[in-house]
Amino acid sequence: MRPRNIATSQASRSERPDLLGLSAETSHWTVFRSLLPFIWPAGRPDLRLEVIGALVVLVIAKLVTVAVPVAFKTVTDWLATDMTAAEAAAKGLVLGVSMLIVAYGVGRVLMMALNQMRDVLFTRVGQHAIRELNNRTFRHLHKLSLRFHLERRTGGLSRVIERGTRGIDLIVRMGVMQLAPTVIELVLVSALLVFYFDWSYVLILLATVAVYMWYTFVASERRIAIRREMNESDTEANTKAIDSLLNFETVKYFGNEDAEARRYDASMARYEKAAVKTYYSLGMLNAGQAAIYTVGMTLVMWLAATGVMAGTHTVGDFVLINALMIQLSMPLNFLGMVYREIKQGLVDLETMFALLAEKPEVEDRPGAKPLVVREGTVRFDNVSFSYDGDRQILHDISFEVPAGKMVAIVGPSGAGKSTISRILFRFYDIDRGAVTIDGQDIRDVTQTSLRAAIGVVPQDTVLFNDTILYNIRYGRPDASDEDVHAAARLAQIDKFIATLPQGYATMVGERGLKLSGGEKQRVAIARTILKGPPILMLDEATSALDSHTEKEIQDALDRVAADRTTLVIAHRLSTIVHADAILVLDKGRLVEQGTHAELIAKEGLYASLWSRQRQAERAREELAAALESAGASASPLPSAAYPQPAGPNFDPERPFDD
């Protein structure tokens, strides 16, 4: 499978929502249909039963709601009758009025209780929908390919998930708990108007509601564009804030606090401008809604008052029409907000569903089987690869890492060393050729089984913001404490952990920043040791360690790698002189291979690299000795203080780093 061309990727992205902004053009109806399976979940009859129960309670609550004004009308008519107390008592009106007043009070309490019951029933459904969609999104993010995550912005993604969660909650609460009851109440009020009055009242009511909704929808549509701008600026500001805080030390190194603050404030200024527009438009929307409904309410009340004066209606009828219109105004006022919130919820969900629609670049083939590692022989056969199709990274690379042997890959910066490790993990699929493990093409096996068979110790170790125990156990989550301690001993970090007040329960901080580079590296080594894979990949695993610790860790790694197939990405050549074979890459081509002695004898590129590195190390040792003899500290100095035999860009510690 050929890697997706970046130009194609960009073209496709222009046709769908920006995954980190809100320039979406996705149909709201499509988004709503995508949400329905989460609200009406298959395989969950208990939740479906709760949805049905909530709808039944909703209808009963609305019947009670419209019955309350009818009781109020009846009481008013009885009280307005022209009779003495004795006549009223004789006709039982006193008892009847008392009972209706009590029924009025009970009705209002029951109405509130039923609404609360409806909300409680829907809360579990809504929260389940939020949990399911968030979990699916989180899993999907981990399924997406490396290219997507290299291009993504963490702060933007976190905002997408956060707003998507809010969007589900808004749609469930507003759509089901507010919109549906309002429609039911409108139908019931219209029926009462026909029964007690005539169709002219219904026509005025429906015309008022129609104009009210039209104005609400038009005004809200205009506000959506402003709200999208708010979301985009919010995402941008949040991304910049998180990026700046993650690079806190870098900001301090260069004294750029003010520059970061100005950069953040520029995004917040855009958000401020959009927020002011939003609240201004909200004020215009609310004022227009109030004016429209007041006109309709005034008309029906004028008709009712005329009827009372003409003797065709009673005072109770006038009270009824007033009570019904006031009572209907509350959900209608909510209807405007409901429409706005549902629209906003759909906008927020657009990006989340677009995220779910993003296809992984690397996927398991249909019928892919688990990798079976019998010996662990790794082979690259005429492998060619490019990231974007315009610049070739690897050219017909062929080599074999025999089972149980150690093969090192070296070469200048940009030679393609790290690319080989990413291809072996199948973070990318190659353009041509094949990569096999024990004869099995890695494209024909499942990614899970492939990565389970390979352990890696990266050069730049990033830890989870959790305990040391958690970070080591991450290599094998079901490992016992004894297994974790054994791995720590083998990685030479157990003594350090013993000096900590909380031991293995010590928190390592964000990205492991509470630990030194060497300590983080040893945690990574312990994690890989605990995993115990048949194939190891070491990306200069001892690069962050001092010379004494480096030897101890190197010995431990040698013991761990003794019976395993090991591929080493090497920058410091002194760490791989004992490798069974050394591959030398240059500009994506395999130019030399052999043992250390054989390559030195060839006097080619490897011998040149070795000579330059040894020269730099000798210069460093001589400088340290001179400083020590002069009484100065012999601590390692920054590389800028060392002689640079290979030019101004030469780094004696990592002269060949990709």
pLDDT above 60 (res 199): yes
pLDDT above 70 (res 641): no
pLDDT above 90 (res 490): no
Instruction: Name the band, by pLDDT with cuts 50, 70 and 90, for residue 15.
Output: very low
CB 377 within 8 A of CB 401: yes
Q: What is the pLDDT, as a whole number, of residue 443? A: 92
Which pLDDT tens digit goes with each residue over 457-488? 877 777 888 888 998 998 888 889 999 999 88
Burial 295-309 (b: 16+ CB within 10 A, else e): ebbebbeebbbebee
* Beta-bridge mates of residue 397: 383
Q: Domain 462-532: which CATH class?
A: alpha beta
pLDDT above 90 (res 54): no
- Report d(CA 524, CA 447) in Å as an integer: 22
pLDDT above 80 (res 508): yes
Q: Which of 182-196, 393-407, 622-636 has the highest mean pLDDT?
A: 393-407
Q: What is the pLDDT, as a whole number, of residue 94? A: 55
CB 423 within 8 A of CB 386: no
Tokens of 367: 């019928």
Q: What is the pLDDT, as a whole number, of residue 358? A: 76
Q: How many CB atoms lie within 10 A of CB 12?
A: 12
Q: What is the pLDDT, as a whole number, of residue 652? A: 37
Q: Provide the whole-model pTM.
A: 0.60
pLDDT above 80 (res 50): no
Name, in order, each residue with C-beta under 8 angstroms of 149's C-beta and a sequence gap of 6 or more.
none
Q: What is the pLDDT, as a whole number, of residue 438? A: 92
pLDDT above 50 (res 12): no
Domain ranges across the chain: 14-357, 362-453+534-603, 462-532
The pLDDT of 152-172, averaged and rounded, is: 69
Share above pLDDT 90 across residues of the chain, in percent, rounded to a whole number: 10
The CATH number of 362-453+534-603 is which of 3.40.50.11060, 3.40.50.300, 3.30.390.10, 3.20.20.70? 3.40.50.300
- DSSP3 helix / strand / coil % (the chain, rounded to 5): 65, 10, 25
Architecture of domain 14-357: Up-down Bundle (1.20)
Q: Please provide the DSSP assignment of 247-303 as one string.
A: THHHHHHHT-HHHHHHHHHHHHHHHHHHHHHHHHHHHHHHHHHHHHHHHHHHHHHHH
- Report d(CA 226, CA 281) in Å as an integer: 9
Lookup result for tokens 């190194």: 253
Instruction: Name the band, by pLDDT with cuts 50, 70 and 90, for residue 583.
Output: very high
Intrachain domains 14-357 and 462-532 with the same fold: no
- Report d(CA 411, CA 656) in Å as an integer: 6
Nearest Cα neighbor of 271 from 297, 241, 232 is 232
Q: What is the pLDDT, as a whole number, of residue 649? A: 38
CB 655 within 8 A of CB 613: yes
Tokens of 174: 């507003």
Instruction: Name the band, by pLDDT with cuts 50, 70 and 90, for residue 445.
Output: very high
Q: Please provide the DSSP assignment of 520-542 as one string.
A: HHHHHHHHHHHH--SEEEEESTT
Nearest Cα neighbor of 352 from 558, 167, 490, 198 is 167
Tokens of 296: 């309709």
For residue 174, the 8-state DSSP code is: I
Q: What is the pLDDT, as a whole number, of residue 619? A: 76
Flag the least confident range among 70-79, 214-223, 324-333. Answer: 70-79
Instruction: Name the band, by pLDDT with cuts 50, 70 and 90, for residue 32.
Output: low
Which pLDDT tens digit goes with each residue over 105-157? 777 788 778 777 777 777 777 777 778 887 787 777 777 766 776 666 555 66
- Report d(CA 402, CA 409) in Å as an integer: 14
CB 462 within 8 A of CB 512: yes
